[in-house]
Amino acid sequence: MMHRKAKGVILGVLMALVAACARGGATPVAGLPAEAQTVIRERGLSPEDVVAALRTYVPGGKYDEYVMFASGGHSGQVLVIGIPSMRLLKVIGVFTPEPWQGYGFGEKGTLEVLAEGFARGKPILWGDTHHPALSETEGEYDGQFLFINDKANARLAVIDLRDFETKQIVKNPNAISDHGGGFVTPNTEYVVEGPQYAAPIGWEYAPLDQYKDKYRGLLTFWAFDRQKGRVDPDRSFQIELPPYWQDLCDAGKKVSYGWVFCNSINTEMATGGIEEGNPPFEAGTAKNEMDYLHIINWKKAEELIRAGKYEVINGIKVIRLQTAAQEGVLFFAPEPKSPHGVDVAPGGEYIVVGGKLDPHVTVYSFEKIQKAIAAGNFERDPFGVPVLKFEDVKEAQVELGLGPLHTVFDDKGYAYTSLFLDSAVAKWSLGGPYRKDGAEPWKLVEKLPVHYNIGHIAATEGDTVSPDGKYVVALNKWSVDRFQPVGPLHPQNFQLIDISGGKMRLLYDMPIGIGEPHYAQIIKADKLKPFLVYPEIGWNAVKMAKDPDATEAGRERVEVREEGGRRVVEIWMTAVRSHFKPERVKVRKGDHVIWHITSIERARDATHGFALGGYNINLSLEPGETATIEFDADQSGTFPFYCTEFCSALHLEMMGYFLVEP
């Protein structure tokens, strides 16, 4: 289907390549030509294949230039991928327990993080992760934190990039599902969680014939406390919106700092019911020629909160729709037809909306929006929200092709939009201050086919105020014929595209065999400064501080006491190559067990595991970490516990017996 046309291999091409390489000043590697020619011939590689391979290969011991944080889709995890090699570096357990990291398999702290995300106490142990968002300082990724939402259950998770572990999950108390999040404001003042399917506020019941009165959208601003590394629900607030099915959101930056933009797909307020003779949702939501871009002044919203103009619903401050509409927090601008992505240009001057059912992207000018608001030239929608005039705020419409969804930017004044129906990436020129090369503004420049059904597109440093224009990654929903079939559930496909030259060039296909990944963000690798081992022995990885139950070598002990009419056995254990100490732990059936294990290792990679069969327990003890498990010894028997990492030659001997007397 693709560039396999050039099947026969032309040795001359390689010679030219090698010669070009030599001209470029690189030292030709001795022995390369003959061997390389053989490989090229044997593997049937085309000249483009050879160049792509050379551009993406990262030799062992060398690091990738970028790190991509990709949603793991339904897996509820985050994927960490090196670019350009597209090597998978890590899978971070977020909404779903992850045994290798010991996340959710007995370790205190991690269980509590997962439990914070339960829905009114009901365990939820997966997530539909959509949009990862890196923390920002002055609009630049700062490499400190990562946030991601769970669409299915309206939750937001906080990952600390010092150890790439999930530290907090917040459950939205007033919504059951979300979509347009997480997106951060330029100094990570807030992590924004946008709604999607309207429902009664406060997670209540209301029949669908009360849709207009009772159903609402809800935009949440989760305040982030950088010092604590946690969302602070007390300083957070929500804004009530009409039940228009808000979709994606993005934060304004630079000139549009203080604003947030979300689009919407159901201003028709369709309520479905195909089985009762109503138009199905897909038709009912697509009747209007225009939906509404939501334009939200969050600085103004903060003022209203300070002035007490809110109601508290389920513990969180909510600015009611009437207040938002009357006090200048919420405005609408018409946008063609059930759009999808909304993306703010690096300087904040333009807001790009992907048409989805319309072959254009529509570009709004922030300056024009401000003028229209100041002029008071608007009508109001049935909820009293000011609706600006399309012609007053539109900067341009650029026809790109079928199914434009999401847009990212480079450093040369170009934008890249995913075209779902065309299965292509469209490169087009911005105008205004971005147009320095004399090219015609607001014009489609080039289209590159991708494979297939592209959803999001991610760019290197793409959501910052200074994208660097090296690569984009197409996040494709289908892979069709690109990979070895592995049954009817096929991998999805991340495709790496070089955008540094004049033309886009497809470099690499990476199969993703884990859920449907949605968005990704790509950061310069040298901005990340993770721990190589925990900073001191006895580190509590959830609290990110020394654990009071850390144990030094020689201070290991077991204490037995009575508490509330039962026996409590508390163990302070150390782990080091190749033994646990103590190695025998004896309790009686019915005892309550509190077990602290400290890894006293200081060497990089010297991780131990701790598995206790029959009790659903597995820990990961990274060098320096202290972890605690707490459980009732409710089954008697002889339970070998053992290290689950092949840590040393005597790893198999790194075990002990947990003896539970009947």
Q: Which does 512 bind (CB under 5 to 8 A by kind): ligand RUQ, ligand CUA, none?
A: none
User: Judged by CB under 6 A, does residue 456 bind ligand RUQ?
Assistant: yes
Residue 619: alpha-carbon gap to chain centroid: 25
C-beta of 130 vs 253, nearer to ligand RUQ: 130
8-state DSSP, 401: -
Q: Which does 654 bind (CB under 5 to 8 A by kind): ligand CUA, ligand RUQ, none?
A: ligand CUA
Q: Which does 167 bind (CB under 5 to 8 A by kind): ligand RUQ, ligand CUA, none?
A: none
C-beta of 584 vs 589, nearer to ligand CUA: 584
User: Judged by CB under 6 A, does residue 155 bind ligand RUQ?
Assistant: no
Gyration radius from the chain CA atoms? 27
* CA atoms of 640 and 645, how far apart (whole Å): 15
Residues 642 to 661 in contact with ligand CUA, rule: CB under 6 A: 643, 645-647, 651, 654
* CA atoms of 353 and 77, how far apart (whole Å): 28
Q: What tokens were used for 579?
A: 């033994």
* CA atoms of 473 and 509, how far apart (whole Å): 10
Closest by CA position to 184, among listed 113, 136, 228:
136
8-state DSSP, 98: B
Closest by CA position to 455, among listed 71, 67, 66:
71
Smallest distance, ligand CUA to C-beta of residue 7, A:
49
* CA atoms of 155 and 157, how far apart (whole Å): 7
For the beta carbon of residue 511, count every other beta carbon within 10 angstroms: 16
User: Judged by CB under 6 A, does residue 340 bind ligand RUQ?
Assistant: yes
* CA atoms of 26 and 23, how far apart (whole Å): 7
C-beta of 167 vs 456, nearer to ligand RUQ: 456
* CA atoms of 204 and 389, how far apart (whole Å): 35
User: Judged by CB under 6 A, does residue 81 bind ligand CUA?
Assistant: no
* CA atoms of 601 and 621, how far apart (whole Å): 9
Smallest distance, ligand RUQ to C-beta of residue 132, A:
11
Q: Which does 303 bind (CB under 5 to 8 A by kind): ligand RUQ, ligand CUA, none?
A: none
Local structure of 54: helix, strand or coil: helix
Instruction: Please report how many Cα atoms fall inside a 13 Å half-sphere around the Cα of residue 115, on the Cβ side.
Output: 9
User: Judged by CB under 6 A, does residue 265 bind ligand CUA?
Assistant: no
User: Judged by CB under 6 A, does residue 592 bind ligand RUQ?
Assistant: no
How many angstroms separate the Cα of 167 from the Cα of each of 114, 117, 541, 550, 621?
9, 12, 9, 20, 17
User: Judged by CB under 6 A, does residue 533 bind ligand CUA?
Assistant: no
For the beta carbon of residue 89, count every other beta carbon within 10 angstroms: 14
What count of residues does the chain have? 662
Among 162, 356, 470, 518, binds ligand RUQ (CB under 6 A): 518
Smallest distance, ligand CUA to C-beta of residue 99, A:
15
Q: Which does 340 bind (CB under 5 to 8 A by kind): ligand CUA, ligand RUQ, none?
A: ligand RUQ
User: Judged by CB under 6 A, does residue 405 bind ligand RUQ?
Assistant: yes
According to DSSP, the β-strands at 566-576 and 592-599 are: parallel
Smallest distance, ligand CUA to C-beta of residue 598, A:
13
8-state DSSP, 525: G
Q: Which does 645 bind (CB under 5 to 8 A by kind): ligand CUA, ligand RUQ, none?
A: ligand CUA
> Looking at 378-386, 525-533, 554-562, 638-646, which segment touches ligand CUA (CB under 6 A)?
638-646
Using CB under 6 A as the criterion, what x/- string covers residues 220-249 for binding ligand RUQ?
Answer: ----------------------------x-
Closest by CA position to 627, among listed 585, 605, 600, 596:
596
Q: Which does 519 bind (CB under 5 to 8 A by kind): ligand CUA, ligand RUQ, none?
A: ligand RUQ
Q: What tokens were used for 234?
A: 């007390």
Smallest distance, ligand RUQ to C-beta of residue 456, A:
5
Q: Which does 643 bind (CB under 5 to 8 A by kind): ligand RUQ, ligand CUA, none?
A: ligand CUA
User: Judged by CB under 6 A, does residue 455 bind ligand RUQ?
Assistant: yes
Secondary structure of 481-494 as H, E, C letters: CCCCCCCCCCCEEE
Residues 558 to 617 in contact with ligand CUA, rule: CB under 6 A: 608
C-beta of 401 vs 624, nearer to ligand CUA: 624
C-beta of 263 vs 551, nearer to ligand RUQ: 263
C-beta of 342 vs 647, nearer to ligand CUA: 647
Residues 232 and 221: beta-carbon distance below 8 Å: no
> Looking at 128-136, 197-205, 507-515, 639-647, which segment touches ligand CUA (CB under 6 A)?
639-647
Q: What tokens were used for 650?
A: 């005597």
Residues 94 and 77: beta-carbon distance below 8 Å: yes
Residue found by looking up tokens 């300070």 in the block: 306
Q: Which does 465 bind (CB under 5 to 8 A by kind): ligand CUA, ligand RUQ, none?
A: none
Q: Which does 455 bind (CB under 5 to 8 A by kind): ligand CUA, ligand RUQ, none?
A: ligand RUQ
Q: Which does 131 bind (CB under 5 to 8 A by kind): ligand CUA, ligand RUQ, none?
A: ligand RUQ
Question: Could you list the residues that contact ligand RUQ (CB under 6 A)?
Answer: 130-131, 179, 248, 340, 405-406, 455-456, 518-519
Question: Could you list the residues that contact ligand CUA (CB under 6 A)?
Answer: 608, 643, 645-647, 651, 654
